[in-house]
Chains A and B, each alone.
Chain A
Amino acid sequence: MKKIFSHPKSLRNISTHYCSGCGHGIAHRLIAEVVDELGIRERVIGICPVGCAVVAYDYWDFDCSEAAHGRGLAVATAIKRVRPENIVFTYQGDGDLAAIGTNETIHAANRGENLTVIFINNAVYGMTGGQMAPTTLLGQKTATTPEGRTSLMQGWPLKISEMLAMLPGVKYVERASLDSPGGIIKSKKAIKQAFENQINKVGFSLVELLSACPTYWNMPANQSLEWIKNSMIKEFPLGKIK
């Protein structure tokens, strides 16, 4: 028998701190697989966010840097400009990229920096205890919206990928979902495209991944995947945006 699936080389063979059923583990693995397949492990530099994935540098076996909350793309811009031969990507959650880091995100995109952004959208703040994020759905109960989010009080879910796609500097935006084996395979394809764009100097590429947070959605892991399929995808339609 031949081994057909195992741990990618760029992912350390250790247990992560993520909760059971968390989508971060899948996203980490997909990035590691893409880095291995493209043979860029010695060239890649990952920028880790503040959020649940703050210690992602402990899990990836390639060079990483940490950024202050939301400032991933500012740090990535600096590294890419000083070391243009390196492949620089940021890994950011919804609170990091679409709330505290909106300024850095929009301006890095508007400058058309040749960077890759992996945006994990789980509609909630995970690390700080399940508070409302900009991408929280209407009616979704969180620690700070115990009666459910209402447009009157908290506004509508922020579609940051669609907003960024409007900018001329942005070359590739795709939204995929980590809700099923098929969705995970499509997500990997999108991540690979975003990295290839940077290698080919195409420009700013962003992949948004709809990811499960069973702990703060208060449901078992398999139900949280159903919730992505039945609720999240309606608000955040999948596919290539630009």
Chain B
Amino acid sequence: MGKIIINKERCKGCMLCITFCPKGFISADKKLNKKGVKPVKFEENPECLGCSMCAIVCPDCCIEVYK
């Protein structure tokens, strides 16, 4: 079981983490952040593998992974 924490204020909304999450647990948030972009959000799920794919592709180092 894994979990990620997203720094939503730093997120620039490139959505690469959504593309590479093998489980599809990351999606775009409806609420804008201070930058004026839609950040991503994570839905906690015991099936999250903690594989770190999202964190590896994140260009802004917004994601912390726990396992």
A interface with B by C-beta (< 8 Å): 1-7, 11, 15-16, 18-26, 29, 180-181, 184-185, 214, 220-222, 225
Q: Look across to chain A and name the residue whose beta carbon is closest to the beta carbon of B56.
A: A181
A residues less than 8 Å from B10 (CB atoms): 15
- 11 new A-B pairs (CB below 8 Å) besides A1-B2, A5-B63, A25-B61? A2-B67, A3-B66, A4-B52, A5-B64, A6-B65, A15-B9, A18-B60, A20-B37, A26-B59, A181-B20, A222-B16
Interface status of B12 (Cβ within 8 A of chain A): yes
Main secondary structure of the interface of B (DSSP, over half): loop
B interface with A by C-beta (< 8 Å): 1-3, 9-10, 12-16, 19-20, 37, 50, 52-53, 55-61, 63-67
CB-based contact A24/B59 at 8 Å = yes
Complex CA–CA separation, A208 to B2 (angstroms) = 33
Main secondary structure of the interface of A (DSSP, over half): mixed
Residue from A5, A21, A23 whose CB has the most chain B CB atoms within 10 Å:
A5
Complex CA–CA separation, A11 to B58 (angstroms) = 14
Q: A5-B52, A221-B16 are in contact. Are A21 and B59 (CB under 8 A)?
A: yes
B26 to chain A, nearest CB (A): 13
Complex CA–CA separation, A222 to B28 (angstroms) = 14
CB-based contact B56/A20 at 8 Å = no
What are 19 A-B pairs at a CB distance below 8 A? A1-B1, A1-B66, A1-B67, A4-B50, A4-B52, A5-B64, A5-B65, A6-B65, A15-B10, A20-B12, A20-B59, A24-B59, A25-B59, A26-B58, A181-B20, A214-B14, A221-B16, A222-B16, A225-B16
A181 to chain B, nearest CB (A): 5
Q: Look across to chain A and name the residue whose beta carbon is closest to the beta carbon of B50.
A: A4
Complex CA–CA separation, A221 to B2 (angstroms) = 26
